[in-house]
Amino acid sequence: MESLAVTALLALISLTAALDNGLLKTPPMGWMAWERFRCDIDCKDDPENCISEDLFKRMAERLAEDGWKELGYEYVIIDDCWMSLLRDEQGRLQPEPSRFPGGIAQLARYIHDRGLKLGIYADMGTYTCMGFPGTTLEKIEIDAQTFASWGIDYLKFDGCYSNPVEQLLGYNMMSKALIATGRPIAYSCSWPVYVGGLPPNVNYTLLGDICHLWRNYYDIQDSWDSVQDIINWFSNNQDDLQPAAGPGRWNDPDMLIIGNFGLSVEQARSQMALWAIMAAPLIMSNDLRNLDNSARAILQNRVAIAINQDPMGIQGRRLLQEKSHIEVYWRPLSHSASTLVFLSRRTDMPYLYHTSLAKLNYEAGNYEAYDVFTGSTVTGLNANTEFTLSINPSGVVMWYIYPEQQSKDTETLYYHQHKTASQFTFHRAKPGHHTVL
């Protein structure tokens, strides 16, 4: 019976209009509460860190005042645990008044006044994952209207306490309901993770017509093991996942945990590099009030961000897994450029990796390579030239690569970031400053 119901719902959903409202032509960037602050609702004993309007105001201030907004980090996203345990007399969701005394609409105005956008969380089910009121099928329309009336710009729609049939119908219904409000709201769906994340359970062509982005896999945790697990799953299933991504429709491997407690500096660079390769949303979950300089430098790396935000929107791929526990990832970019990431899965010592661009499927010719994390440039790099890289344990070397003729045509290469009007500049190398051994 369930298979017949699923077939019927698929037929219904196939008639939906595409969610093409011009949003998220590049992956979204911003900050989200969940991984760092979870469901801390104890504002009596932990007022600085509890899920409250004050927390989101402080994070918005940091985004606006510390250089994040100019780089494209524009969304401030509330996750679970913001709600009152009861809907109001009209059946609408409402924030917990002791923690959000000004209400969500006032918070949205505070966020918007700083040139930022506000996201919120709901769940396609009886309850949210943490037990707050869910959005059952009959509540979808009123919840969409409520969010729009508050000035919400982004909805994360989870899927706890529901079954696959309800999810399949509900995610489509919410897409239509958001469109019907007339307000442009970015729509993040969690449905794939609840049904295994892969075809035939997930029709990514269909999903791309309903949602702007979607969570494919389990929640990230604050550890290198968790980051590696996500990278493994995305790479092992890239033939299914990679074609689904593009402007306005993104695979989401979950939040950036850089600046928390679980990653070394090398591992933090690795997450930033792989998220850029995967054209993943760059949604931080950390405490922006207390970031150290190394975490800030990684998250604000203009070249890594520009690669992530490439307007072609092609998700990268893993090219190689070596017996030496070195992996190579590649992503094509605009203006005949590309990026390579050399990732070490080793835990012992820096590894000397020998290769050439020709071995990595590059066409004959001369290239230049900009090292994203050191700022050095390698010039005169022929495709057949063997080179050696030193890659630290659990670390990366990340190159932005372009044909040498391109650098001769202009003294400076410009890489346009879609989310802001700024231009990221790649300067020609100073002689002798190279990463190649």
Q: Which of 40, 54, 66, 219 is catalytic?
A: 219
| Encoded tokens for 121 | 């969380």
Q: Distance between CA 88 and CA 80 in Å, rounded? A: 18
Residues 388, 436: contact at Cβ < 8 Å? yes
Structural element, H or E, at residue 213: strand 213-215
**Is 113 marked active-site?**
no
Q: Distance between CA 360 and CA 27 in Å, rounded? A: 26
> Measured between alpha carbons, how far apart are the two ends of the chain, in Å?
63
- How many other CB atoms are found less than 10 A from the CB of residue 38? 15
Q: Distance between CA 302 and CA 406 in Å, rounded? A: 20
| Encoded tokens for 68 | 């994040």
**Is 219 marked active-site?**
yes
Q: Distance between CA 212 and CA 16 in Å, rounded? A: 14
Nearest to 299 by CA among 333, 338, 259, 329: 259
Per DSSP, the residues of 170-193 read: HHHHHHHHHHHHTS--EEEE-HHH
Q: Distance between CA 64 and CA 57 in Å, rounded? A: 11
Phi-psi region of 336 (alpha: psi -120 to 50; beta: other; left: phi over 0): left
Strand duo 351-355 + 366-371: pairing: unpaired
Residues 271, 220: contact at Cβ < 8 Å? no
Q: Distance between CA 130 and CA 160 in Å, rounded? A: 9
> Strands, E, within 124-254: which ranges?
154-158, 186-189, 213-215, 250-252
Q: Which of 123, 143, 158, 209 is catalytic?
A: 158
Which residues are designated catalytic?
158, 219
